[in-house]
Amino acid sequence: MRQTGLDLRRRSIEIILANQTSSGAFIASPTFSQYGFCWVRDGAFIAHALDLAEEHGAAARFHDWMAEVVLARRVGLARAAEAGRRGDIPPVDYLHCRYSADAAESAVVWPAFQLDGPGIWLWSLGEHVVRGGRLTPRRAEAASLIADYLAALWSCPSYDAWEESPEHVHTSTVGAIAAGLRAAGGYLAHGPSAQRSAELAETADLIVRHLRTAAEAGYLPKWPGSGAVDGSLLWLGYPFGLFRLDDPIFATTIERIEAELVSAGGGVFRYLGDTYYGGGEWVLLTAALGSVYAARGAPGDSQKAVRCLEWIEAQADAEGLLPEQVAERALHPEWTHDWVRSWGPSARPLLWSHAAYLVLHGQLESARP
C-alpha cells in the first residue's frame, strides 16, 4: 500500500471524530444539505470501524446515544411490534432511520421506515462487546426492545439501504436483521432477556433459510423475484458472516456484482437502475468489495483488495475528504444536473465512506507480513 494510505487512515479517523457530537451521534455529512443528521445505519457502521481502529470510547458514546434514542421510544416500539404482527404499523411508532444530535425526529418528510439500520446497530453493538465494550443495562434494554421489534417486523416491506422501493422486502435488509438478531441472541443471553436468546437465534436462522430460498436462481437477488443484484448484498458475506464467502450462492452473487456493478475504473455502483446523482461509483461499496476480497483470500484476492483501496485513496481531495460517490462514470449522467440543482453537489465528506475505508485498510494492514 502507498504511504498516502496511512495518511488517509489518520485523516479518516480525524474527520469522523470531528463530526461526532457531544451526544455521541455522528453527523452523516457536515457539508451536504440533506445529511445533517445521524443515521442509525451509518452510525452503526462508523462505530464498528472505530472499534477496529481502537477508538473504543467514541464507539461507546454512539452506542449510548443510540440506546437513549430507542429507550425514549420504548412504548411506541412495543406497539409497533404488536401492530407488525397484524401487518399494520402506525408511522408514529416505528423507529426512524435518522435523528438529530439531540435524538429528535426530523420534521422534514423522508423515507423513514427502514429496518436494516436497527439490525446493523444490534450487530455493531455485539462487535463492540466482543472487543471489550460494556453491555450496560441501558444498552441491553434498548437492544432487547429492538430485537423484539425486528423479530416481529422482519418480513414487512420497508425502504432499503438506499431509501428506495418501500414496496419490497429487501434481501440486504433482512440480512442485516438476521445479523443483528444473531448477535443479540449471544450478548443478551447473560442479561435480563436471557429467555429470549434462543428465540432470537431461531428467528435469525429462519431468515437465513428465507434468504437461501429467495436465491432460487443461484444468487442473492435485490429482493425476492428480482433479476437484479445490489452492492449492499456484499455485507451479507462480510462483515455479517451470514454466508461463507465460498458458499456457491454468495460466490455467484459476487460474480454478478463484479460483472455488472464494477466500473471500468474499479469503483462499485449500487445497482444498474440507480439515478441518484446520476448513479455514480460509491466509495463505501468499493471498500465493501475490497473487504470481501481481503476476507476471502482466494488466489488474486489480495491484489484485488489493494486495487479497491487504491481506487478509494485516489478519490480523496487535497484535504483528505472522501465523497459519497464519484460521477465520472455515472450510469445515468442525464440525472446528475437535476440533483445538483435541487440539493447542491453530492456529499463530501461522507463519514460512512471514511469508515468503510478504515475497515478495508485495517484488514490489509493486518494481513501484511
160 in catalytic set: yes
- At 1 the pLDDT is 42
- At 198 the pLDDT is 86
Q: How far is CA 319 from CA 1, 14, 15, 361, in A?
A: 20, 11, 10, 19
pTM for the complete prediction?
Answer: 0.97
Residue of 160, 230, 274, 313 marked catalytic? 160
What are phi and psi for residue 325, nearest 5 degrees? -145, 165
356, three cell numbers: 468503510
Helical residues (DSSP H) of the chain, grouped into ranges: 3-18, 40-52, 56-71, 74-86, 116-130, 137-153, 171-187, 197-214, 248-261, 283-296, 301-315, 336-343, 351-367
Residue of 55, 64, 163, 310 marked catalytic? 163
Helix H or strand E segment including 278: none
Residue of 42, 51, 141, 324 marked catalytic? 324
Q: Distance between CA 182 and CA 260 in Å, rounded?
A: 31
- At 3 the pLDDT is 43
Mean pLDDT in consecutive groups of 10 residues from the start of the chain, 369 residues: 68 98 98 97 98 98 98 95 78 92 91 97 98 96 95 95 97 98 91 73 96 97 97 98 98 98 98 98 99 97 98 97 97 97 97 98 91
Q: Distance between CA 204 and CA 199 in Å, rounded?
A: 9
Q: How far apart are the first and last CA of the chain?
A: 13
> Hey, which residues does 281 pair with through a beta bridge?
326
CA angle at 239 for the pair 277 and 362, rounded to the nearest 5°: 90
